[in-house]
Amino acid sequence: MGDPSSRMQEQEAIRAKCFHPTGTFVEFKKEEIEQSIPERFEKMVRQYTERLAVKMGDRALRYDQLNQAANRIARLILEKRGPGSEPIAVLFEHGIDGIAAIFGVLKAGKFYVALDPSFPERRINYILDDSEAPLIVTNHRNLALARKLTNDQRLALSIDDIDQTVSSDNLGLFVYPENPCAIIYTSGSTGEPKGVLETHRYRLYETMIRTNEALVCPDDRLSLLHSVTFASALVNLTQALLNGASLFPFDIKSKGVDSLSKWLRAEQITILHMPPILFRQFAQSLSGEDKFPNLRVVHLSGAPITARDFDLYRRTFSPDAVFAFHMGATETALICSAVTDHTFSFPKDGVPVGYPAKGKQILLLNDKGEEVGSGEVGEIAVKSVWLAAGYWRNPQLTKAKFLPDPSGCDERTYLTGDLGRMLPDGFLIHLGRKDFMVKIRGYRVDISEIERALLGHDQVKEAGVVAWDHEPGETCLVAYVVPRGSPPPTIHRLNEFLRTKLPDYMIPSSFMFLESFPLTNGKLDRSALPKPGKSRPELGAPVVPPRTPVEEQLAEIWAEVLSLDQVGIHDNFFDLGGHSLAATRVVSQVIKRFQLEIPLQSLFQSPTVAEIAAVITEHQGKKLGEDDLHRILTELESLSDEEAQRLLSEQKTNPTGVK
């Protein structure tokens, strides 16, 4: 990654490129966070009354028009609910109405809970019940769904029914900076979403940091690709509309990735923010002739970036477009960030996430909660006064994840659940999720490391790995691959590729090829991936059934050990999900069944049923006595996984494969 002593200076030099070539940057000052979001927004309305605020397709609103729409919505909410802070649900498709409704809720002194109508009804109902929102604000397009969701427990109203004679003047309600502004629901480890409570001060502090780092000015035009249900969308929304800039929502679901390039040029987008998985699809859809003269910042967030992401940026965008990435969480907002250009050198191990954000101290802790030494790996913890208020209606989880300072000051420490290593100059390297660390045959395995290795294959477009319970007490790894082009890589090729990069216990037991990944806000939705069954993997060749009694018995043994419904005689043992411990089980069964000593290495040298059957048939006259049979089986079954791996990989001179 270059000389640590010069990396900070490089950051400053690259960040200077973020200045808009024609615009004037105005620093977002710290004292300006001691207000509410509506107060800051109304200041922008006064300064930039007729400037474009938001545009989607043919519809556009100036700052004064967006403000007037929000004021009318606020009055409708107050008419139904009266004054006082409480959660209000907003249910809208991606677009301008949802943005106006969010500002309307905040202007009414309430805090919003964003719902995406494309989400499963079960998830929406859970969020409504958990948030206890008494009112759903929506439009005519989603009114039928909203009424269905009321359950006679809450009201639903449409902003399309607002009489235009309703006053559009500012309401003048005073909202304290420490008041809630939103509950943002994120995926929970229990399988149910958990609500993170944000305050106006917390959100404005985040806006200040983002504004000053990216040098956002009123001439900027920011993309909005994320659903407003996610914190990433709120980042774009406040970065633009609390700075006099213009916001451009784009519905990637309906428009598709292929139309994104034309849209970026037509709308002259200057700051593009998207998740890495969408960025890869976008960059790979370009012809090579696409030019984006207005684009000055390409910002990826929401998932770890890869060396391939950086290579795609370098090939796709000019050196004038800065590549920005960061690490953050809904509970902490921005944690670390960095900006790079074409000269950046991607680290060999882990994912770069940058330097700590202003006002955030990064701690790396061991399992006992103690700070680890320099260069050591630990759980990333964030110490700051600028953290979310906690989890909505979940004081136990708040207490477990947000630790108070022992000295009694206002700082708290949030445990991220991510692993990292700090470089000597304070640059943080992300090393995967702590909960992505799983035990496979007694070994600690980092799932993200396997995914990064798979993404290094030239025929792999996207990769995800999930640990499934193969059977009670045994966990297996399943790799999900979206191939680049057709035909997809064979499982054998992927296995061989991974074996040059990973130890045996980190090789997935099975591979599943998908046309695309299920996504939630641009992130892989692991819970929606298909669970592997007992079907034979797609090996790219038809099943050849056994031809002889020996092959029949061997196929039965392999199918039983590997939990498959069928095995072909030419199927490679390792392509079927075989590993070192499975190899010992197969060889034990073969020795018992045929009373021949088969070295473990035989499966490496002859990895198909047909090949092993030929060896057995040739040596069936050399059966073992009972004492030798018992001794060999005892030795074999007592092998540790590590010993089995070593023996399996040793290609000793043994021409016949049988002793």
End-to-end CA distance of the chain: 52
pLDDT number for residue 240: 98
From edge to edge, which strands make up the β-sheet containing 510-513?
460-471, 474-483, 510-513
Closest Cα to residue 363, out of 339, 388, 335? 335
Lowest mean per-residue pLDDT among 144-148, 501-505, 580-584 = 580-584
Structure tokens at 43: 């200041």
Alpha-carbon distance values, 653 to 95, 252, 614 (Å): 68, 58, 18
pLDDT number for residue 659: 36
pLDDT number for residue 554: 82
Over 70: is that where the pLDDT of 202 sits?
yes
Let me know how many helices (H) and strands (E) the chain has, helices first.
Answer: 21, 28
CA 73/CA 162 separation, integer angstroms: 8
Alpha-carbon distance values, 424 to 11, 307, 354, 370 (Å): 16, 22, 12, 19
Structure tokens at 499: 């074996």
Lowest mean per-residue pLDDT among 148-162, 329-343, 446-460 = 446-460
Closest Cα to residue 570, out of 453, 492, 458? 492
- Provide, rounded to the nearest whole percent, the portion of the chain with pLDDT above 70: 86
Are 111 and 77 within 8 A, CB to CB?
Answer: no
Are 361 and 384 within 8 A, CB to CB?
Answer: yes
What are the residue ranges of CATH 1.10.1200.10 in the chain?
A: 549-649
Residue type, 302: G
pLDDT number for residue 560: 79
pLDDT number for residue 10: 78
How sure is the predictor about 16, in pLDDT bands with cuts at 50, 70 and 90?
confident
How sure is the predictor about 591, in pLDDT bands with cuts at 50, 70 and 90?
confident
Task: Please list the residues that pair with 421 across neighbouring strands.
Answer: 429
DSSP string for 183-227: EEEE--TTSS-EEEEEEHHHHHHHHHHHHHHHT--TT-EEEE-S-
pLDDT number for residue 191: 54
Q: Pick from 349-358, 503-512, 572-581 the range whose average pLDDT is largest.
A: 349-358
Give the mean pLDDT of 523-548.
75
Secondary structure element (H or E) that encloses residue 489, with its range: none
CA 257/CA 265 separation, integer angstroms: 14
Give the mean pLDDT of 480-498.
85
pLDDT number for residue 345: 81
Task: Please list the residues that pair with 439 across neighbouring strands.
Answer: 444
What are the residue ranges of CATH 3.30.300.30 in the chain?
A: 441-506
Instruction: Reduce the DSSP state of residue 512 to 3 states and report it.
Output: strand
How sure is the predictor about 470, in pLDDT bands with cuts at 50, 70 and 90?
low
CA 393/CA 162 separation, integer angstroms: 33
Label residue 409 exposed, middle or buried (CB < 10 Å: 0-12, 13-18, 19+): exposed
Closest Cα to residue 389, out of 178, 186, 175? 178
- Provide, rounded to the nearest whole percent, the portion of the chain with pLDDT above 90: 47
Over 80: is that where the pLDDT of 585 sits?
no
Are 252 and 260 within 8 A, CB to CB?
Answer: yes
- Give Rg (Cα) of the chain: 29
- Residues 302-361: tens digit of each pLDDT: 878 888 889 999 988 988 899 999 999 999 999 999 999 888 888 877 889 999 999 999
pLDDT number for residue 656: 34
- Residues 20-63: tens digit of each pLDDT: 888 789 999 999 999 999 999 999 999 999 999 999 999 999 99
Give the mean pLDDT of 136-164.
94
Secondary structure element (H or E) that encloses residue 354, with its range: strand 351-356
Residue type, 37: I
What are the residue ranges of CATH 3.40.50.12780 in the chain?
A: 1-20+270-430, 23-244
pLDDT number for residue 144: 95
How sure is the predictor about 649, in pLDDT bands with cuts at 50, 70 and 90?
low
pLDDT number for residue 76: 96
pLDDT number for residue 136: 98
Degrees (nearest 5) of the Cα angle 196, 200, 202? 65
Closest Cα to residue 324, out of 350, 347, 295? 295
Closest Cα to residue 539, out of 602, 455, 608, 462? 608
Secondary structure element (H or E) that encloses residue 399, with its range: helix 395-401
CATH fold of the domain at 23-244? Rossmann fold (3.40.50)
pLDDT number for residue 624: 62
- Residues 386-422: tens digit of each pLDDT: 999 999 999 999 999 999 988 888 899 999 988 999 9
Q: Pick from 329-338, 530-539, 576-585 the range whose average pLDDT is largest.
A: 329-338
DSSP string for 53-95: EEEETTEEEEHHHHHHHHHHHHHHHHHHH-SS--EEEEE--SS
Are 250 and 225 within 8 A, CB to CB?
Answer: yes
Are 353 and 428 within 8 A, CB to CB?
Answer: yes
How sure is the predictor about 201, in pLDDT bands with cuts at 50, 70 and 90?
very high
Closest Cα to residue 274, out of 249, 292, 242? 249
CATH of domain 1-20+270-430: 3.40.50.12780
pLDDT number for residue 57: 94
Are 480 and 512 within 8 A, CB to CB?
Answer: yes
Over 80: is that where the pLDDT of 178 sits?
yes
CATH H-level, domain 441-506: superfamily = ANL, C-terminal domain (3.30.300.30)
Over 90: is that where the pLDDT of 655 sits?
no
CATH H-level, domain 549-649: superfamily = ACP-like (1.10.1200.10)
Closest Cα to residue 146, out of 103, 97, 217? 97
How sure is the predictor about 603, in pLDDT bands with cuts at 50, 70 and 90?
low
Label residue 638 exposed, middle or buried (CB < 10 Å: 0-12, 13-18, 19+): exposed
The bridge status of strand 155-158 relative to strand 135-138 is parallel
Residue that wins the pLDDT comparison between 37 and 280: 37
CA 67/CA 50 separation, integer angstroms: 11
Task: Say which DSSP state 378 is in.
Answer: E
DSSP string for 521-580: TTEE-GGGSPPP-SSPP--SS------SHHHHHHHHHHHHHHT-S---TT--TTTTT--H
Lowest mean per-residue pLDDT among 71-75, 330-334, 462-466 = 462-466
CA 230/CA 306 separation, integer angstroms: 23
pTM for the structure as a whole: 0.75
Average pLDDT score over the chain: 85
Give the mean pLDDT of 156-179.
95
Over 70: is that where the pLDDT of 634 sits?
no
Instruction: Reduce the DSSP state of residue 50 to 3 states and report it.
Output: coil
Over 70: is that where the pLDDT of 515 sits?
yes
Over 80: is that where the pLDDT of 454 sits?
yes
Instruction: Reduce the DSSP state of residue 615 to 3 states and report it.
Output: helix
CA 616/CA 604 separation, integer angstroms: 15
Residue that wins the pLDDT comparison between 248 and 656: 248
Residue type, 591: I
pLDDT number for residue 658: 35
What is the dihedral angle through the alpha carbons of 311, 317, 321, 324, rounded to the nearest 10 degrees? -30
Q: Other C-beta atoms within 10 Å of 471: how many?
A: 8
